[in-house]
Amino acid sequence: MQAATIAFDTFNALADQDAQERIVAAKARLGKRAVLLCHHYQRADVYKHADITGDSLKLSRLASQTEAEYIVFCGVHFMAEVADILSRPEQVAILPDMAAGCSMADMASRAKVERCWRELASVLDPDERVTPVTYINSAADLKAFCGEHGGIVCTSSNATKILQWSFAQREKVLFFPDQHLGRWSGWKMGIPLDAMVIWNPDLELGGLTPEQIRKAKIILWHGYCSVHQMFQPAQIERFRAKHPDGLVISHPECSFEVCKASDYVGSTETILKTVKEAAPGTRWLVGTELNLVDRLAQEVKAEGKTVQFMADMICMCSTMQRIDPQHLAWTLENLVAGHVVNRIGVPAHEAALAKIALERMLAAS
């Protein structure tokens, strides 16, 4: 008879050093059967165990290519869902702590997007005239909605290309859940700000008039990442006053004003690449999550590069932070013992539709 699943209780109080040793030992026993995918915001004591690191686009591509039986995703819930959708049926996607969600992804739900679609239908035929685009930071059922309605998924590194694809299909775009990524990407492709309106899901007709909807090119969902809203143009102004030769790089989840005041805007992978490839001795102000910025600062220090965090206070992705060494050790030891804990399994019908929207993205980017 197989032993029962090991309960988390025994790991909760595990000292950090013990957890580290147990992760290393369990990983060695699992060998190639398990792969650890880690997003760049992951805390250092987990990130150090990664087999593969990346932004959402890179990780979703690699999740579809790995041969491992177990894909242990050190990131947030929607990322593990994407790994499950894009991997083969016999592969298992695992999220070490189920509480690791994304608060921005939670700002759009299938029910609210369906209501939006119905309400838009009172003004125009959305299936004829609107391409739904969901940021990868969204639940699988929203990706399925896009698959079903001729839409697509985008990430922070391909959003402009995906908008171009979307406008080649239909004349307007409904972009959810991140208004900032949608606005920045639309503006970059030449769409004026007044042709992008905000859809407030808590108001009738999104708080818009039929005339505003008819005139809009992009309808932006009223969603945002609270971590990236901590960055302000005033922080950039102060940095530039003190360091006139300094360079500023931000993530496109930051406000339009922050993106506009930055020298570069890009995904987490782009931020890392840009700073790592910059000339020795350069000085950077970086507008994205603190774990990434701290790690980057350490890595480029030897080349005389200075990396400074944009906000005045600590702001981390608290949900990503939930994946700690204790949960990782617990997950891996269960796998060694033959038990899968915290499996992320998207229902087959939903996964098939979501895969259509994800594959459109992978082909277009």
Contacting residues toward ligand 13P, per CB under 6 A: 40, 55-56, 137, 155-156, 225, 251, 253, 267-268
What does 56 bind: ligand 13P, ligand SF4, none (CB cut-off 5 to 8 Å by kind)? ligand 13P
The smaller minimum CB distance to ligand SF4, of residues 174 and 254, is found at: 254
The smaller minimum CB distance to ligand 13P, of residues 20 and 268, is found at: 268
Question: Rg of the chain's alpha carbons, rounded to an integer?
Answer: 21
Considering the rule CB under 6 A, would residue 321 count as an interface residue with ligand SF4?
Answer: no
The smaller minimum CB distance to ligand 13P, of residues 41 and 70, is found at: 41
Tokens of 135: 């940021």
As measured in angstroms, the least distance from the Cβ of 12 to ligand 13P is 27
Considering the rule CB under 6 A, would residue 248 count as an interface residue with ligand SF4?
Answer: no
Question: At what angle are helices 140-148 and 110-120 packed, to 10 degrees?
Answer: 30
Q: For residue 329, which of 5, 14, 9, 23 has the smallest C-alpha distance? A: 23
Considering the rule CB under 6 A, would residue 102 count as an interface residue with ligand SF4?
Answer: yes
Exposed/middle/buried for 185, CB within 10 Å: 0-12, 13-18, 19+?
buried
Contacts of 291 (CB under 8 A, 6+ apart): 40, 41, 42, 43, 44, 47, 316, 317, 320, 321
Tokens of 354: 């979501």
As measured in angstroms, the least distance from the Cβ of 268 to ligand SF4 is 9
Considering the rule CB under 6 A, would residue 225 count as an interface residue with ligand SF4?
Answer: yes
Cα–Cα distance measured from residue 36 to residue 13, given in angstroms and rounded to the nearest whole number: 23
User: How many CB atoms within 10 Å of residue 109?
Assistant: 16
As measured in angstroms, the least distance from the Cβ of 82 to ligand 13P is 11
What does 156 bind: ligand SF4, ligand 13P, none (CB cut-off 5 to 8 Å by kind)? ligand 13P
As measured in angstroms, the least distance from the Cβ of 336 to ligand SF4 is 29
Cα–Cα distance measured from residue 159 to residue 259, given in angstroms and rounded to the nearest whole number: 15
What does 66 bind: ligand SF4, ligand 13P, none (CB cut-off 5 to 8 Å by kind)? none
As measured in angstroms, the least distance from the Cβ of 180 to ligand 13P is 10
The smaller minimum CB distance to ligand SF4, of residues 96 and 126, is found at: 96
As measured in angstroms, the least distance from the Cβ of 321 to ligand 13P is 13
Cα–Cα distance measured from residue 21 to residue 19, given in angstroms and rounded to the nearest whole number: 5
As measured in angstroms, the least distance from the Cβ of 320 to ligand SF4 is 5
The smaller minimum CB distance to ligand 13P, of residues 91 and 268, is found at: 268
Give the CA angle between residues 201, 207, 164 to the nearest 5°.
70
Tokens of 61: 């591509």
Which residue among 38, 95, 153, 227 contacts ligand SF4 (CB under 6 A)?
227
Please list every residue from 126 through 145 that binds ligand SF4, using CB under 6 A. Answer: 137
DSSP 145-201: HHHHTT-EEE-TTTHHHHHHHHHHH-SEEEEES-HHHHHHHHHHTT--GGGEEEE-T
- Which SS3 state, helix, strand or coil, does residue 121 take? coil
Stretch that binds ligand SF4, among 4-12, 26-34, 98-106, 256-264 (CB under 6 A): 98-106
Stretch that binds ligand SF4, among 81-89, 102-110, 296-304, 328-336 (CB under 6 A): 102-110
Stretch that binds ligand SF4, among 62-70, 254-262, 296-304, 316-324 (CB under 6 A): 316-324
Contact between 160 and 170 (Cβ < 8 Å): no
What does 268 bind: ligand 13P, ligand SF4, none (CB cut-off 5 to 8 Å by kind)? ligand 13P
Which residues on adjacent β-strands are paired with residue 221?
199
Tokens of 157: 């590194």
- Which SS3 state, helix, strand or coil, does residue 140 take? helix
The smaller minimum CB distance to ligand 13P, of residues 20 and 60, is found at: 60
Contact between 18 and 333 (Cβ < 8 Å): no
Q: Which residues bind ligand SF4 (CB under 6 A)?
A: 76, 102-104, 137, 225, 227, 253, 289, 317, 319-320
